[in-house]
Structure 1
């Protein structure tokens, strides 16, 4: 059994329907109750013959009676089958291949990766993006905008923003993204920070090996907008090479990218 932290319901529903597109709506359980009746009786008139006059009415005789029968009762119980996100995800969970080594997977494999600890790698961008998407700029007058709805424009530019997660596995690192929303991003009242506490199980599609720098450049929308806003320098002007931030580690490090369908917590119930 499992509990869902995050699920991309649209992806999960489509894949689940490919596995089996029959959704049970009702379950009927019939109970047959069978009863068997046995009986035996006897009549002996020997003693009656000793009574005057009755011996003429009841001749001496011995009679045995026996009978056998059965009774069947049928009871039908009807149950309503409730379809939830967990029931949609369950066939995907059972069909997914458990990853022992990431390097053994092929692109397109439906896999589940157990016991992964996760970290958010773009916390600064998340804070800035959420502040902009929450409409904070509506309260701040901006001169020389020419009547442009800056907040509306940013919502369009940043609507594809995502959380970028990274985790370590047996033979490498894992990277995946979750679309960013202002609210209701997680299931069951969880929030994004809950994914950084303890170990979780990932269910998704293996997409191959990429460089971390390349993945971040494709996903991080706010950083891309920031790069566009930087003034271009004349080609003849020599510039110093950009220094790498040692805290970020090796930017050319390779990572296994997963197209995540769901993040779950596996349950043990006795």
Structure 2
């Protein structure tokens, strides 16, 4: 079993969950350390004293002199606690990687290396993005702001993301927010360019339709639509193609998405 994640940059981090788990592993957060450097210089001097003492004594004398000097230097190093530093402490505790995922127990920390992601509820996501950015705010019905109403309905909206590696399929969700969803100014679309690594808590097998939100619940249970709309809505659930709804995925309670770096 090899973690294969020595250096990385962070795309997404659920900081609250990661910090909580990191504190369970070790609740001591270093803030600074002292480095002590000590050097000792020793010099031994031997001199024949005949020339100096011959004028006084007829005997020959020999003496020695030893000089020792110690120099101490204390350095105080400030330790920066960044998101990546906290995440690294959690990564070191992972025992299960994708090659051993069939042996994973529910609740174990897992690492899925080098995997390509895809957005399953893209249509719904694009709609909710526009709503949360205020596109519908100026539209009202009986003095009720349509935009504000939709924002309330979409508060628990999440990106439903799937991934496949070898014969295994993975599923997880990321809460959708207006700003600061991702680290380092990344956006949702950046996740789908190239491979990334996933860190999460294994939650067993799930179907996409098991993951619900207020918006998807209301749209799937709208009884006011006509027969044609019902037939059309049956083609998808939560903006997800029907073909994928019955597939089983290994579900992860996602903690972080990172990009592995090579130096």
TM-score bracket for the superposition, by shorter chain length:
0.7 to 0.9
2:83 matched residue in structure 1: 85
Cα distance in 2 between the residues matched to 1:174 and 1:75:
53
For 1:169 and 1:31, the matched residues in 2 are separated by: 50
Structure 1 residue matching 2:126: 3-state secondary structure: helix
2:221 alignment partner, SS class: helix
Look up the SS of the partner of 1:208 in the other structure.
Answer: strand
Which protein has the larger Cα radius of gyration, Structure 1 or Structure 2? 1
SS in 1 for 2:92: helix
How many equivalent pairs are there?
251
Q: Does 1:253 align with 2:259?
A: no
TM-score (norm 2): 0.86
- 2:256 corresponding residue in structure 1: 262
Work out whether residues 96 and 108 of structure 2, in 8 Å CA contact, stay in contact via their aligned partners in 1: no
Q: Note if contact 1:107-1:206 (Cα within 8 Å) is conserved in structure 2.
A: yes
RMSD (Å), alpha carbons: 2.6
Residue deviations 1:191-226 (CA, integer Å, cap 9, x gap): 1111111111111100110123333xx24x433322
1:12 to 14, 18, 32: 18
Pairing of 1:228-243 with structure 2 (within 5 A): 228-231=221-224
Task: Tell me by how many angstroms 1:70 deviates.
Answer: 1.6
For residue 61 of structure 1, report the CA deviation from its aligned partner.
Answer: 2.6
What's the CA shift for 1:123?
1.2
SS in 2 for 1:184: coil
- Quote how far apart the aligned CAs of 1:95 are: 0.6
Equivalent in 145, 149, 153 of residue 149 of structure 2: 153
Say which is worse superposed, 81-90 or 225-234, in terms of deviation: 225-234
Deviation digits for residues 141-189 of structure 1, max 9, x if unmatched? x3xx222233222222101111111100233200000010112211112
Aligned partner of residue 229 in structure 1, secondary structure: coil
TM-score (norm 1): 0.84
* Partner Cα distance (2:57, 2:34) in 1: 60
CA shift, 1:45, in A, is 4.5
Using the alignment, how far apart are the partners of 1:70 and 1:91 within structure 2? Answer: 44
CA distance in 1, matches of 2:100, 2:74: 49
* 8 Å contact from structure 1 (residues 3, 264) kept in 2: yes
Whole-Å separation in 2 of the counterparts to 1:44 and 1:101 = 83
Partner secondary structure for residue 61 of structure 2: strand
Task: Specify the SS of the correspondent of 2:163.
Answer: strand
1:83-106 deviations in whole A, cap 9, x for unaligned? 111111111111112321322111
Contact 1:167 1:174 in 2 (8 A): yes
Q: Distance in 1 between matches of 2:131 and 2:89?
A: 39
